[in-house]
Structure 1
Amino acid sequence: MKPARQLLAAVALGCAALAALPTAAQTGPTPAEAARYQGLHAAAHRGDVAQIGKLAAAKADLNARDGNGRTPLHVAAFAKQRAAIQALAKAGADLNLLENDRYDGVTIASVADDEETLRVLLALGASARLVTSRYDGTALIAAAHLGHDGVVRQLIAAGAPLDHVNNLHWTAVIESIVLGNGGARHQATLKALIDAKANLQLKDRQGQTPLQLAKSRGYGEMVKMLEAAGAK
């Protein structure tokens, strides 16, 4: 393979690896783990609101951790057990704890494109502003990467930090471009960020602006949106 082709292949592999970052680190309970759960973790996983109430009344630890640092609320978020989330919150569970991979309930729902669970969490007072994951990102950055435009709009409305820079030196705007496919949902994600007045001039580690990144990838519709918003 010629050196130029080797370089292109390496870049392609690097991009593929980066595209998997936010989701690869997030690990929900396996069926085997769930089968071993007891107490509040078991009740949260199966959505047993009555049992959650009984255990809470008996002073069970609402924020107990499993082997991966997941609380019952994390387990309920992974399982999309919204009534269990509400019951845990009513009993006093902490909505903003991070598990071992540094994900909270809001980020778990955001990565899963689970708008209804996210809506429940935010209505209960969970924060959209936490720094999460091993990449020091946010739920908004993770959702922008994945093109979860409805989630992005919810997080923006909940006060998520628009211009947070993660340890890859990327913002939500940048991730919607460099880790997206330029398609309809990533375009809608970028539009939501533009409409919310996200900073379009923040550069990546190589000094590239969002507009330059969109042009380099041939994402014509994104280029049009950015230029219309005054991006340089």
Structure 2
Amino acid sequence: MVPSRRSVLLLAATAGLAVLATACGASAGPAPAATGTPRATGGASATTAPARPGTDPAASRDLLAAARSGDAAAVRDAVRRGADLETRDEQRRTPLLLAATGDHVEAAEALVAAGADPDALDQRHDTPWLVTGVTGSAAMARVLAKAGPDYTIVNRYGGTSLIPAGEHGHADYVREVTTNPAVRVDVDHVNDLGWTALLEAVVLGDGGPEHQETVRLLLAAGADRSIADTSGTTPLEHAVEKGQTEVARLLRG
């Protein structure tokens, strides 16, 4: 049976803590940065957040609904009526985050043009930009890049958008992010589990064509193939162990 992502994360975290305890000569106590425990985000309200002063509450509610459904015309109408661009739903998602999650590109374009914040965090510690690494939408990445997001903001596992993209084998997205001169995502960023995008593409990938292309693109962008996980295993060693012949060939260079 193929292990779930959660199982893999927990196993990697446990291994990382064991290595840390051995190296330090101490018992493994609480270490949030090494366990993969989602980062605390604080203060999420149970209901839709009220619109800010000077904005129209009804238009703000309509804006959330329009962004969620991808109705770009309704988005523009709600903005004209005085909607709060940063209004939140019950999970503290803004209209732009809802549009990005649903890959509603035209709606996102309207929101970006109106000045929506690409860095607004929800209760899961996602931002509009970060969620593009999960959806793998190159088109959405191009739209949000125009808003000038902060590429150093990380998700609840301490990762950049490239790391889940590596996991899912979103080759088109990786190509966009690593070749678009407006985007500045660290290709060698290490998350709280000790994994880079390259490691996730191998450890959590299936070795098929999309993951092969993802690995090739990451390497072309300068990804360091020598960065090992917390147990000291390199991407190449993982690929060989998993029987990913073509990925291993790419990693051997």
Could you tell me how far apart the structure 1 residues matched to 2:65 and 2:4 are? 39
Which structure 1 residue ranges, 5 or more long, are not aligned? 1-8, 20-24, 26-32
Is 1:209 the counterpart of 2:199? The answer is no
Could you tell me how far apart the structure 2 residues matched to 1:15 and 1:71 are? 27
2:177 pairs, out of 155, 161, 167, with 155
**Contact residue 133 and residue 163 of structure 2 kept, 8 A:** no
The alpha carbon displacement at 1:14 in A equals 6.2
Note the 1:7-86 alignment, pairs <5 A: 13=3, 17-18=7-8, 38-86=61-109
- Between stretches 210-219 and 137-146, larger displacement belongs to 210-219
**Contact residue 98 and residue 132 of structure 1 kept, 8 A:** no
Match of 2:231, SS?
Answer: coil
Is 1:111 the counterpart of 2:101? The answer is no
Structure 1's consecutive aligned runs of 4 or more residues displaced over 6 angstroms after TM superposition are none
Could you tell me how far apart the structure 2 residues matched to 1:14 and 1:75 are? 26
Taking structure 1 as reference, are residues 90 and 186 closer, same or farther at Cα in structure 2, changes over 3 Å only?
same
Could you tell me how far apart the structure 1 residues matched to 2:130 and 2:196 are? 16
Could you tell me how far apart the structure 2 residues matched to 1:42 and 1:218 are? 46
**Contact residue 96 and residue 126 of structure 1 kept, 8 A:** no
Is 1:135 the counterpart of 2:157? The answer is yes
Matched letter for residue 184 of structure 1: P
**Contact residue 158 and residue 192 of structure 2 kept, 8 A:** yes
Is 1:183 the counterpart of 2:208? The answer is yes
The alpha carbon displacement at 1:58 in A equals 4.2
Q: How many residues align?
A: 203
RMSD of aligned residue pairs (Cα, Å): 2.5
The alpha carbon displacement at 1:16 in A equals 6.6
Q: What residue in structure 2 maps to residue 196 of structure 1?
A: 221
Taking structure 1 as reference, are residues 218 and 46 closer, same or farther at Cα in structure 2, changes over 3 Å only?
closer
Greater relative contact order, per chain length (Cα 8 Å cut-off, separation 6+): 2
Could you tell me how far apart the structure 2 residues matched to 1:176 and 1:128 are? 23
The alpha carbon displacement at 1:108 in A equals 2.1
Q: What residue in structure 1 maps to residue 45 of structure 2?
A: none
**What TM-score results when the alignment is normalised by the length of structure 2?**
0.72
Matched letter for residue 109 of structure 1: T
Could you tell me how far apart the structure 1 residues matched to 2:116 and 2:100 are? 13
Which structure 2 residue ranges, 5 or more long, are not aligned? 10-37, 39-47, 49-59
**Contact residue 107 and residue 142 of structure 1 kept, 8 A:** no
Identity among equivalent positions (%) equals: 35
Could you tell me how far apart the structure 2 residues matched to 1:155 and 1:117 are? 11
Could you tell me how far apart the structure 1 residues matched to 2:233 and 2:4 are? 17
Match of 2:139, SS?
Answer: helix
**Contact residue 134 and residue 164 of structure 2 kept, 8 A:** yes
Matched letter for residue 106 of structure 1: W
Could you tell me how far apart the structure 2 residues matched to 1:53 and 1:94 are? 16
The alpha carbon displacement at 1:217 in A equals 1.4
Match of 2:174, SS?
Answer: helix
Matched letter for residue 140 of structure 1: L
**Contact residue 106 and residue 127 of structure 1 kept, 8 A:** yes
